[in-house]
A and B are shown apart, each in its own frame.
Chain A
Amino acid sequence: MPAPQHILIVDDSATARMFIERCLAVAGLGSATVATAANGVEALAHLRSQPCDLMISDLIMPDMGGMDLMRRIAASPRLNQVRVIIVSSASNPAVEQELRSLGALDVLQKPVSPAAIRAALENLDDDQDHDDAEDSWG
């Protein structure tokens, strides 16, 4: 899988958005185009109008949180191919299970680190390789 070129960071904290962007750069994605959104409403507007390979989203946000955002994305044939990583402090196995059922590829605990971002991206590669192999066998 090629490295993501268009990344959307969704978090109501400007500090968290900046921190995730720095982690992406340290993890080797410094050349990607990074856009930001402060909540799910802004994120949906971006996804409907701009290219996006990867979305990294917080869970608890005003106006529209990460869980509602995931439900909207999962229900949209136009958007449900966007790869999503959730970053949140308020996560546990039950929350993670629901997020994954909605299509989240990974759920990371805040505060995120470059190593955690890198590992999550490698998992995306593995998932894509697995899907490609299944497709070729199909």
Chain B
Amino acid sequence: MIPDHTTIAAHQNRAVAETMETMAFLEVSPGPDVDGPPPDSLLCTIAFIAPYQGQLTLALPPDIARQIALALVDSDDQDVVRDIVNEITNTIAGRLLGLVAPPGEQINVGLPQPDTPADDTITWTAYRLDDGRSFRVGMHMVTETQ
């Protein structure tokens, strides 16, 4: 049985906060549900495969992505920035599914798909950094029977 929306949203906020803090050294706070991301965002989508289905999309403004790349590997090369966006998305999606799924059930996610347009069914949440900038995470999760 998939948890309710409020529980999944709380797990998503935790997965995003833990990932951004430990991987990108950024403290973030969740905001309200919002419309889709700004058009210049760097997008990456990962499919949830098991035990639930759906997708998670990270929409990171280029300036934040470059800042993270410089902090992590001292490079803002375009390929490095893109790889980091993929890896952050991968980490958030895996952590979220690990939090939501029952401990006894195998979890599985797909490979990062850069620049994939987000599905219309996802709900976007804004996450704000200490300096006022923000990024967005879109997510949709269902069971096969839904």
Contact = CB atoms under 8 A, between A and B. Distances in A.
B45 interface: no
A3 interface: no
A29 B13 CA distance: 35
Interface residues of B, number: 30
Nearest to B98: A92
Contacts of A88: 94
Say whether chain B's binding surface is mostly helix, strand, loop, or mixed.
helix
A62 B93 CA distance: 17
Interface stretch (B1-9, B26-34, B103-111): B103-111
B29 to A, nearest CB: 20
B82 to A, nearest CB: 10
Interface string B46-83: 00000000000000000000000100110000011001
7 contacts: A12-B111, A15-B69, A62-B111, A88-B94, A89-B93, A90-B90, A90-B97
Interface of A: 12-16, 18-19, 60-62, 88-95, 98, 109-111, 113
A-B CB proximity, top 9 nearest: A89-B94, A90-B94, A111-B23, A93-B103, A89-B91, A92-B98, A13-B87, A15-B83, A94-B106
